[in-house]
Amino acid sequence: MASEGARRLKHWGWGYEDQQPSQQQVEAAAKAIREHLGFGAGEVERPLPLEEVQLRRARLEAPASLSAICRNDPYERASHALGKSYRDVVRGFRGEFSHPPDVVAYPREEAEVESVLEWCAEAGAVAIAFGGGTSVVGGIEPVLVDERPVVTIDLRCLDQVLDIDEHSLAARIAAGATGPGLEEQLRPRGLTLRHFPQSFEYSTLGGWVATRAGGHFATGPTHIDDLVESVRAITPRGAWESRRLPGSGAGPSPDRMLIGSEGILGVITEAWVRVRRRPGHRAAATVAFASFDGGAEAVRGLTQSGLEPSNCRLLDPGEAALTGAASDGSALLVLGFESADHALGPWLDRALEICAEHGGAPTGEPVVRRPGATADAARGGAEGAWRGAFLQAPYLRDTMVAAGILSETFETAITWDRFGPFVAGVRRAAERAVTEACGGGRVTCRITHAYPDGAAPYFTVLAPARRGAELEQWAEVKAAATEAIVSAGGTVTHHHAVGRDHRPGYDRQRPDPFAAALRAAKAELDPAGMLNPGVLIDP
Amino acid sequence: MASEGARRLKHWGWGYEDQQPSQQQVEAAAKAIREHLGFGAGEVERPLPLEEVQLRRARLEAPASLSAICRNDPYERASHALGKSYRDVVRGFRGEFSHPPDVVAYPREEAEVESVLEWCAEAGAVAIAFGGGTSVVGGIEPVLVDERPVVTIDLRCLDQVLDIDEHSLAARIAAGATGPGLEEQLRPRGLTLRHFPQSFEYSTLGGWVATRAGGHFATGPTHIDDLVESVRAITPRGAWESRRLPGSGAGPSPDRMLIGSEGILGVITEAWVRVRRRPGHRAAATVAFASFDGGAEAVRGLTQSGLEPSNCRLLDPGEAALTGAASDGSALLVLGFESADHALGPWLDRALEICAEHGGAPTGEPVVRRPGATADAARGGAEGAWRGAFLQAPYLRDTMVAAGILSETFETAITWDRFGPFVAGVRRAAERAVTEACGGGRVTCRITHAYPDGAAPYFTVLAPARRGAELEQWAEVKAAATEAIVSAGGTVTHHHAVGRDHRPGYDRQRPDPFAAALRAAKAELDPAGMLNPGVLIDP
């Protein structure tokens, strides 16, 4: 449980309270960002202090048997009321917590998860499983169509790596373990999960499994789906635990029904996941292309070659310029291989040949390192810079809100045959919406994950926000992007999940009989509809 | 539809009628097998001719609107009454077709699948989707707990590759296309699915998807699951079609609910699958190990290296001797790499180093070929021999039945930490059962598929059968093997599916809440319970 005196996460934005820069620092950063972008509001806003936040009165109190693990003070309720999308941060910043949970429970062991669920059932309450709270799709926001009280179950106390099987390269990890937390426990054994979503610092294993998070690898096993060996969850009908199996052909995969279930079927408490030895061999290069489409063709060639680079991220010229990586109008490919087993020279050599076949030229000498090089050097310049900027982006979002800059990202996936026109169409739709809603702004794109049969383009929108109208602006841009993606055959999300925000697109995308089957499965396991209602399917 | 004059499949065993050897040939083969094995009945039995087979009277007639695509003659009913396990072949051989379907329908287009299902619903009939009929687990045998008439829907007329997307390396293929049929249609474009289960010659794409078939690749994407981009099925609640997506994070995967559903949720009519360019580069070697366990440690090292050999099959000394590959008590690893993109020298070199680290020695010169070599030579000696013997095994099974030899295979998967004792335990249990049921026999083992976290051991049982008691002998061995596998934590099947035969083990293995969810999903999509009842879950 969040004990007194421990570091507290900001109740309204990204990171810990002690990481929040001073107002002076925020103002300096805002000035720099505005100059770089050419827009942003004049005044730098301050977040509403927690003391001034008015919360709806709590409608439920924990019973004595659970009072030791339950909290209902304003900090706890506010900091569990929203996710971390731009829309969430704007509301948190202004103190608009319209749907706070009534109680936040911190189970310390799985039996307490069961007890909390039993109490919720008796009390007619809704139960929302909560990992790092980093959802950017309204996945943990207690918005209901009815008046039931809400208990948010924060799993952060279940944070242990419970078992390590070095022989099979697998680890049993409790659902509340964060990225750094679990990596720290794996490191002494020379192991790593290597799942680094952008939310890595705060998000949790259980959250990744529940939302089909996308991670480190740009090709091959990118989704957490591929790393899961078995899952355990508590449902209102009892514990759901699959066997540890490297592969199985016994009926539809039970794990694949829980993976992506976003808390509507049960509370995931732990999983066996596939880990690997820490890679010592690295080979990396940055390759410039005259155009994004040319670079995308190289990415297609790379994914279809069977070489499986671990990094293969393509920035469009706008994104490359924005991040300071290239200012000459090039698209940039950040390419990397890693292995704990073998030197990667032949892999990188062939990959650079494929890039050259598509007009790509390395921007400097490739970096090839063997085990023993220091970690920073071994990571390679461009790749290391990319990763640093990647993890800093959510912190920057908080400053953008203060600076009056609308900052939003959306992502999808599409097969290669439709890739070019699809990206162009989504970009046009987003640019049009940004112009209409904000009077201008920038839309950039990168490929974050790529497969032999397609890729996942990831779009970033930066635009001038109008104070007080941010949520309407956001909704307009979001609706236009979703419409463009879903009507052109893409997926409403490649790795951000569905939550509540993506429902309009998701409802069109999924097969109707599947929706009926999922609804029936949920009704069977959760007849009271108490588990995270409104996410994925109607309550 | 099976038109008059076309080649007919044997109604009781493997392959076409014109492939069945003469009685003289069968007797010669039986003699050789008996000498090799040291057991087998004295007399070589002949299959009961179809003319002498007595079938239960058909309880249903097709309506006029469907009569053009429906058959109910004895050949059609008998040849759709059983799968192709040893138990099935023994019964078919003797003319014991206790549960023939009443009608066999051959839809020529998807709309006719819908019409047949509508008719089944009106007539209160059961509908069993049928691909190649190669199930070895009772997956398509119409055994019911009630007296409903049965319509088997044979999808062989839906055999076209409907669309090829060379850019994304994907193809839309109708469910009834067989392995050779679809490969023949892909070949002119230089493409291949490279999914070669042992049933490859007769089994179908739809059957592979419905049963989670395991294929060509010994490591990496071995199950058809990994090759599926989207699936289309007809359910009693309408068409279920997922989007073509290279990856998605939008809720639980709809495809993964259909993959492995064994005909209980709908009739799969087509799928988009990931294909690849035909590999021209090959590198292969055969490596001998002093023991199976030593070889298994090398396989573990290979799968954990990230090299992803396409072939990595380890034969135990008994299997190596039985197939004539080695007679000196060695375990043999058949190792191969293939690529359409790059030469594989560095891959094979490192793989052989890993083998050497575990005491493995190549049995000859490695074979490394570049594009342009003739197909046979390029495949490599050991690998080619392995594949030929692999595809011949089911034909041999028919001769074994005639020769009075019980021949059965079973397979599973387990994580590496339990691998050695698990294989030893299952082997002991099978040997004990074979001794008790048959008075002796042989149990051999090979690794067919391997993963970083475990492997799939595949067992072959050959034992003297007692005429007339074969089914009891089979049941005793099967029960013992299943008990040993399931109680030790393995999966009841790695790629043979569940069907009806594996239910006792499957019911223990799957999580109870998942079974409840699957049952609810089926009841929602198939309220009459007409789709393949008894497979996977109770009717």
Q: What is the per-residue pLDDT across B351-401, written as a single tens digit (0 to 9) for each?
A: 999 999 999 999 999 999 889 765 544 455 566 666 777 888 889 899 999
Give the confidence band of B41 by pLDDT, cuts at 50, 70, 90: confident
Q: What is the mean pLDDT of residues B143-168?
A: 97
The partner residue sitting opposite A514, judged by closest CB among B254, B305, B341, is B254
Q: Which pair of tokens denotes residue B306? A: 């990230």
* pLDDT digit string, tens, across residues B314-327: 999 999 988 777 78
Residue B413 has pLDDT above 90, yes or no: yes
Give the confidence band of A149 by pLDDT, cuts at 50, 70, 90: very high
Q: Which of residues 107-136 of B touch A (CB under 8 A)?
A: none
Residue A417, min C-alpha distance to chain B (Å): 5
List CB contacts (< 8 A) between B358 and chain A.
none
The partner residue sitting opposite A493, judged by closest CB among B239, B249, B415, is B249
* pLDDT digit string, tens, across residues B110-139: 999 999 999 999 999 999 999 999 999 999
Report the Cα–Cα distance between both ends of chain B, in Å, rounded. 30
> Distance (Å, rounded) from C-alpha B455 to C-alpha B460?
16
* pLDDT digit string, tens, across residues A493-512: 999 999 999 999 999 999 99
Residue A375: per-residue pLDDT? 52
Q: Which of residues 420-459 of B touch A (CB under 8 A)?
A: 449, 451-456
Residue A497: per-residue pLDDT? 98
Residue A325: per-residue pLDDT? 77
Residue A140 carries which side chain, given as an amino acid letter? I
Residue B217: per-residue pLDDT? 86
Residue with tokens 């009892």: A238
> Distance (Å, rounded) from C-alpha B297 to C-alpha B295?
5
Instruction: For chain A, say whether B487 makes contact (Cβ under 8 Å).
Output: no
Give the confidence band of A326 by pLDDT, cuts at 50, 70, 90: confident
Residue B17 has pLDDT above 50, yes or no: yes
- Indicate yes or no: CB of B247 within 8 angstroms of CB of A213: no
Residue B378: per-residue pLDDT? 44
Q: What is the mean pLDDT of residues B170-198?
A: 97
The partner residue sitting opposite A246, judged by closest CB among B251, B253, B415, is B415
Sign of the Cα torsion B461, B464, B469, B473 reads negative
List CB contacts (< 8 A) between A260 and chain B.
249-253
Chain A, nearest residue to B455 by Cα: A246
Residue B509: per-residue pLDDT? 97
Residue B97 has pLDDT above 70, yes or no: yes
Residue A323: per-residue pLDDT? 77
> Distance (Å, rounded) from C-alpha A464 to C-alpha A41?
7
Characterize B135-144 residue by residue with b for buried, 16 or more Cβ atoms within 10 angstroms of its Cβ, and e for exposed.
Answer: bbbbbbbbee
Chain B, nearest residue to A503 by Cα: B250
Residue A373: per-residue pLDDT? 67
Percent of chain B with pLDDT over 90: 88
* pLDDT digit string, tens, across residues A435-491: 999 999 999 999 999 999 999 999 999 999 999 999 999 999 999 999 999 999 999
Strand runs (DSSP E) across A394-534, as ranges?
Answer: 405-411, 414-415, 442-451, 454-464
Give the confidence band of A378 by pLDDT, cuts at 50, 70, 90: very low
Residue B382: per-residue pLDDT? 63
Of A141-150, B26-35, B376-385, where does mean pLDDT reach its minimum? Answer: B376-385
Residue A401: per-residue pLDDT? 94
CA A281 to chain centre: 28
Residue A382: per-residue pLDDT? 63
Residue B373: per-residue pLDDT? 67
Q: What is the mean pLDDT of residues B88-96?
A: 97
Q: Which of residues 59-78 of A touch B (CB under 8 A)?
A: none
Give the confidence band of B298 by pLDDT, cuts at 50, 70, 90: very high
> Distance (Å, rounded) from C-alpha A37 to C-alpha B424?
67
List CB contacts (< 8 A) between B222 and chain A.
247
Instruction: For chain B, say whether A198 makes contact (Cβ under 8 Å).
Output: no
Tell me the backbone φ, ψ of residue B165, rounded to 5 degrees: -110, 90
Residue A327 has pLDDT above 90, yes or no: no
Instruction: For chain B, say whether A506 makes contact (Cβ under 8 Å).
Output: yes
> Distance (Å, rounded) from C-alpha B467 to C-alpha B472?
11
List CB contacts (< 8 A) between B415 and chain A.
165, 168, 170, 229, 244-246
Instruction: For chain B, say whether A229 makes contact (Cβ under 8 Å).
Output: yes
- Indicate yes or no: CB of B506 within 8 angstroms of CB of A250: yes
The partner residue sitting opposite B350, judged by closest CB among A342, A491, A523, is A342
**Paired residues of A408 in beta bridges:** A461
DSSP H or E segment with residue B27:
helix B23-37
Q: Which of residues 255-314 of B touch A (CB under 8 A)?
A: 256-262, 265-266, 274, 276-277, 300, 304-308
- Indicate yes or no: CB of B491 within 8 angstroms of CB of A248: yes
Residue A118: per-residue pLDDT? 98
Tell me the backbone φ, ψ of residue A335, rounded to 5 degrees: -120, 135
Instruction: State the alpha helices, DSSP H only, in B405-502.
Output: 419-438, 470-487
Q: What is the mean pLDDT of residues B277-295?
A: 97
Residue B327: per-residue pLDDT? 80
Return the residue in A219, A232, A248 with the most chain B beta carbons within 10 A, the one to mutate for interface testing. Answer: A248
Residue B220: per-residue pLDDT? 86
Of A474-478, B268-272, B384-388, B405-409, where does mean pLDDT reach its minimum? Answer: B384-388
Give the confidence band of B216 by pLDDT, cuts at 50, 70, 90: confident
